């Protein structure tokens, strides 16, 4: 495949393993389709999500773009269920014996918002809270540990991407759970970046995008939140997930980011 | 007449905060201390009563923040028959997690879930109960999140602790936005001579251990009493922006 520069083949070249969680719609789908044309020969794309139908549609779009080259594996999973992790992780990383891949990427994209109808001080149910953090925090940590174990050894170039959000650093009403979960992930990956100099770790804020998630946010019932997104829409700041996915891939290919950095699609911050 | 609850009151900073508060809470006030060690709580109570023998009602509630099924009982004990026109909740209890593991080595989801249940979920659920019990504008409410510099500065082998504190900081920033009538403060107490510090100092990571030694040689490891004092001054001066994250230094 054509190489746009030194960075391209180093990150996405031949024999690349790439797992994307939440690949059944939205940003996850856009990332998958974009990667389709960039991943080199002998690569494998693994997509996880709760909706098999959604995953299959993503696969169809990926194959439309590059019919032969890429092996696409679908794994249906609910990140909220920790008891299912062993089977889930096994499926994700099956047939990744030593020497199979030169590059390995994991893109932690799957996420949930939590109950947007509640203020911070109204989240009283510990079962719901524990489930929220299991889905958005624990699953990501445990999956990263498995990824690192499977691809241990210095001859595989490893990249971990944490799909984050501006609300990890900018408080937004009715987003207590989402903000706190993203803030936790950002810090977790900063520590990981300190400890793993051989791994490229990136936290990426994709910006507000035209996805199901944004729809949920916009109908949360809080006028301030709704006004904010209406204003963004009128200024043309609601991105297509494809555009945001493209920006993320560019960051990865240019490979100039400091490991552990938290970068925003609009370049509004670099933390 | 102030109600004040302090979690993790059986030793360390929690004990210091309790003793410092003893001299400041007015007549008819109540101090509720939670912790896992009854013996520790009793010693704290003894120190509090030594400081102000008559004035303050001290209530001890033994409980483990790790176990969500126990929260209903625990919370109802904390908030039973609450008096007063001031109410303060100090989220001090915290654990470090397994410091022998790097971030990428935390493979057991059960352990991870337990960690965040103890350090994140419990504080959120307890805050919700506090807000429910003291709803209505006639009570002046304050929520303190005992945080850490590591909420914003990554520290090797502290991925769980850092991430939990970062999560709490953001949670309380959102709460501060939503609750203009509540004073919300995230406080970084700085390194102190406590059991937690000794655990960190013996974590086996040279960088961290060296850092501790340097701080010690510069006299930067405080007595928890001093940090508790500083916290109470911040609360009394009451100039902080709600949701702010302030450091002892």
> One digit per residue, pLDDT tens: chain A, 271 residues?
444 433 445 678 889 999 999 999 999 999 999 998 889 889 999 999 999 999 999 999 999 988 767 899 999 999 999 999 999 999 999 999 888 999 999 999 999 999 999 999 999 999 999 999 999 999 999 999 999 999 997 689 999 999 999 999 999 999 999 999 999 999 999 999 999 999 999 999 999 999 999 999 999 999 999 999 999 999 999 999 999 999 999 999 999 999 999 999 998 888 8
Which of B112, B154, B167 has the CB atom closest to A181's CB atom? B167
Q: What is the CB-side half-sphere exposure of residue B187 using CA atoms within 13 A?
A: 27
Q: Is A51 helix (H, G, I), strand (E, B) or coil?
A: coil
Which pLDDT does position B136 carry in this prediction? 74
Using a CB-CB cut-off of 8 Å, the residues of chain A touching B182 are 121
Interface of B with A in 1-60 (CB under 8 A): none
Beta bridge mates, A46: A19, A73
Ranges in chain B, pLDDT < 50: none
Which pLDDT does position B190 carry in this prediction? 95
> How many Å apart are CA B142 and CA B37, to the nearest integer?
26
> How many Å apart are CA B209 and CA A92, to the nearest integer?
38
Closest of A158, A137, A20, A142 to residue A89, by C-alpha: A142
Which pLDDT does position B82 carry in this prediction? 77
Phi, psi dihedral angles at A256 (to 5 degrees): -100, -10
> How many Å apart are CA A181 and CA A140, to the nearest integer?
11
Strands A199-205 vs A261-264: parallel, antiparallel or unpaired: parallel
Which pLDDT does position A1 carry in this prediction? 41
* Secondary element (H or E) of residue A107: strand A103-108
Sequence-distant (6+) residues with CB within 8 A of A4 are A253
CB A217 within 8 A of CB A167: no
* Secondary element (H or E) of residue A203: strand A199-205
- Is B167–A192 a contact, with Cβ atoms under 8 angstroms apart? no
Q: Model-level pTM?
A: 0.94
Closest of B8, B49, B43, B44 to residue B25, by C-alpha: B49
Which pLDDT does position B55 carry in this prediction? 73
Residue with tokens 């918002």: A113
Using a CB-CB cut-off of 8 Å, the residues of chain A touching B106 are 141-142, 145
Query: The dihedral of CA B132, B136, B141, B144: what is its sign?
Result: positive
Output the CATH code of domain B2-190+224-239: 3.40.50.720
> How many Å apart are CA B40 and CA B6, to the nearest integer?
14
The reply to whether B173 touches chain A by the CB within 8 Å rule is yes
- Is A149–B102 a contact, with Cβ atoms under 8 angstroms apart? no
ipTM of the complex: 0.94
Q: What is the CB-side half-sphere exposure of residue B175 using CA atoms within 13 A?
A: 30
Using a CB-CB cut-off of 8 Å, the residues of chain B touching A134 are 109, 113
- Is B104–A148 a contact, with Cβ atoms under 8 angstroms apart? yes
B21's tokens: 């508060």
> How many Å apart are CA A106 and CA B79, to the nearest integer?
45
pLDDT tens digits for range A181-213: 999 999 999 999 999 999 999 999 999 999 999
Phi, psi dihedral angles at A99 (to 5 degrees): 85, -10
Which of B68, B165, B175 has the CB atom closest to A121's CB atom? B175
Neighbours of B50 (CB within 10 A): 10
The reply to whether B243 touches chain A by the CB within 8 Å rule is yes
Which pLDDT does position A65 carry in this prediction? 87
- Is B109–A148 a contact, with Cβ atoms under 8 angstroms apart? no
Which of A121, A182, A185 has the CB atom closest to B179's CB atom? A121
No. of helices (H) and no. of strands (E), chain A: 10, 7
Sequence-distant (6+) residues with CB within 8 A of A210 are A238, A239, A240, A241
Nearest CA in chain B to A261: B154
Using a CB-CB cut-off of 8 Å, the residues of chain B touching A85 are 109
Domains of chain A: 8-264 (3.40.50.720)
Chain B interface test: which of A85, A117, A121, A158 (most B C-beta within 10 Å): A121
- Is A137–B175 a contact, with Cβ atoms under 8 angstroms apart? no
Which of A130, A167, A183 has the CB atom closest to B113's CB atom? A130
């Amino acid at each position: 495949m054509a190489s746009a520069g030194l960075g391209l083949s180093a990150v996405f070249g031949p024999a690349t393993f790439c797992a994307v969680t939440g690949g059944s719609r939205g940003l996850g789908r856009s990332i998958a389709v974009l990667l389709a044309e960039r991943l080199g020969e002998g690569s494998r794309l693994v997509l996880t999500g709760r909706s098999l139908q959604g995953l299959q549609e993503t696969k169809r779009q990926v194959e439309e773009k590059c019919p032969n080259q890429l092996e696409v594996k679908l794994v249906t999973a609910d990140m909220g269920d920790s008891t299912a992790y062993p089977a889930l992780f096994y499926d994700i990383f099956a047939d990744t014996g030593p020497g199979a891949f030169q590059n390995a990427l994991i893109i932690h994209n799957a996420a949930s918002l939590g109950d947007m109808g509640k203020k911070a001080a109204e989240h009283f149910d510990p079962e719901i809270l524990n489930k929220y953090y299991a889905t958005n925090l624990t699953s990501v940590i445990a999956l990263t540990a498995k990824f690192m174990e499977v691809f241990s050894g210095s001859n595989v170039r490893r990249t971990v991407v944490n799909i984050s959000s501006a609300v990890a650093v900018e408080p937004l009403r009715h987003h207590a759970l989402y903000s706190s979960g993203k803030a936790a992930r950002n810090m977790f990956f900063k520590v990981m970046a300190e400890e793993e100099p051989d791994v490229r770790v990136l936290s990426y804020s994709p910006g507000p995008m035209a996805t199901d998630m944004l729809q949920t946010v916009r109908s949360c019932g809080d006028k301030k939140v709704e006004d904010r997104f209406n204003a963004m829409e009128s200024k043309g700041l609601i991105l297509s997930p494809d555009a945001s996915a493209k920006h993320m891939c560019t960051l990865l290919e240019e490979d100039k980011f400091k490991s552990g950095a938290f970068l925003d699609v609009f370049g509004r911050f670099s933390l | 007449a102030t109600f004040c609850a302090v979690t993790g009151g059986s030793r360390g900073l929690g004990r210091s905060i309790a003793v410092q508060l003893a001299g400041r809470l007015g007549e008819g006030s109540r101090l509720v201390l939670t912790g896992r060690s009854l013996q520790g709580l009793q010693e704290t109570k003894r120190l509090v009563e030594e400081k102000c023998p008559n004035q303050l009602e001290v209530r001890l509630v033994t409980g483990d923040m790790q176990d969500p099924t126990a929260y209903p009982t625990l919370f109802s004990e904390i908030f039973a028959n609450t008096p007063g026109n001031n109410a303060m909740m100090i989220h001090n209890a915290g654990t470090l997690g397994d410091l022998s593991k790097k971030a990428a080595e935390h493979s057991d989801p059960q352990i991870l879930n337990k960690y965040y249940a103890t350090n994140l979920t419990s504080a959120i659920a307890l805050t919700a109960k506090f807000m429910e019990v003291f709803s209505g504008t006639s009570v002046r409410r304050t929520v303190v999140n005992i945080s850490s510099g590591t909420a914003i500065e990554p520290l090797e082998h502290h991925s769980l602790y850092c991430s939990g504190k970062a999560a709490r900081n953001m949670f309380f920033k959102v709460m501060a936005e939503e609750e203009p009538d509540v004073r919300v403060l995230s406080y970084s107490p700085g390194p102190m001579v406590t059991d937690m510090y000794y655990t960190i100092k013996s974590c086996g990571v040279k960088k961290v251990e060296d850092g501790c030694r340097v701080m010690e040689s510069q006299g930067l490891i405080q007595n928890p009493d001093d940090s508790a004092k500083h916290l109470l001054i911040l609360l009394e001066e009451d100039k902080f922006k709600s949701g702010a994250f302030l450091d002892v230094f």
